[in-house]
Amino acid sequence: MVSHSELKQLFCAADAVCFDVDSTVIREEGIDELARFCGVEDAVSEMTRRAMGGALPFRAALTERLALIQPSREQVQRLLAERPPHLTPGIRELVSRLQERNVQVFLISGGFRSIVEHVAAKLNIPAANVFANRLKFYFNGEYAGFDETQPTAESGGKGKVIKFLKEKYHFKKIIMIGDGATDMEACPPADVFIGFGGNVIRQQVKDNARWYITDFVELLGELEE
């Protein structure tokens, strides 16, 4: 069993840090915001809650929610223009500090690439370091499903992305930081999981994560020591 001080040492020695996006890097759940924008908020947020709690297989939950929302390309673009996601306090400084230390920062999300790339740009994270689901649209812009070949479209997908990153870049130590069950399940192959409850506390994660924080300032402090 690794001690808490050893976990902190692993974090400071990491060569890559992966962040979940919804309710971690940003304050909102992107799919719920899209549902609200499209007028089907209540039905979709209940499904999100069940998916995050691990009660529904991820792909089934995603398929069902998107079938309810049916977002067009124009609606996604309008959402980003009119209601852009809000960065969680401290994340900009934390990502910047990690990058100064030559740590590779990745965003791994079960949300949508168009929204996650918007967030990545705010944090100076290259689009190549974004792993998320791709919405598909017909030529007239209407919803046509999502790319089911993306690893993030299935249960266990975040772990598959981390395994891929280890194989491709030969990282020695990868940290996964997130609020949900799907983030915690990515460790292993991640070397350390840090649960984040600064926007929403998921009891299953709080109870089982060996390192749980509610403010990114704590991680900044570890890097400064």
Assigned token pair, 186? 């990515």
pLDDT reported for residue 215: 84
Assigned token pair, 183? 């983030």
pLDDT reported for residue 148: 83
* DSSP, res 22: I
pLDDT digits (tens, 9 = 90+) for 61-107: 888 888 889 899 999 999 999 988 899 998 999 898 888 888 889 99
pLDDT digits (tens, 9 = 90+) for 29-57: 888 888 988 888 887 777 766 666 666 77
Q: Is the per-residue pLDDT at 214 higher than 90?
A: no
Most confident of 33-42, 121-130, 186-195: 121-130
pLDDT digits (tens, 9 = 90+) for 16-30: 889 999 889 998 888
Q: Is the per-residue pLDDT at 130 higher than 90?
A: yes
Handedness of CA 217, 219, 224, 225 (dihedral sign): positive
User: How far is the C-alpha of 101 from the C-alpha of 140, rounded, in Å?
Assistant: 45
User: How far is the C-alpha of 6 from the C-alpha of 11, rounded, in Å?
Assistant: 9
**Residues with Cβ within 8 Å of residue 55, at least 6 apart in sequence:** none
Enumerate the active-site residues: 20, 22
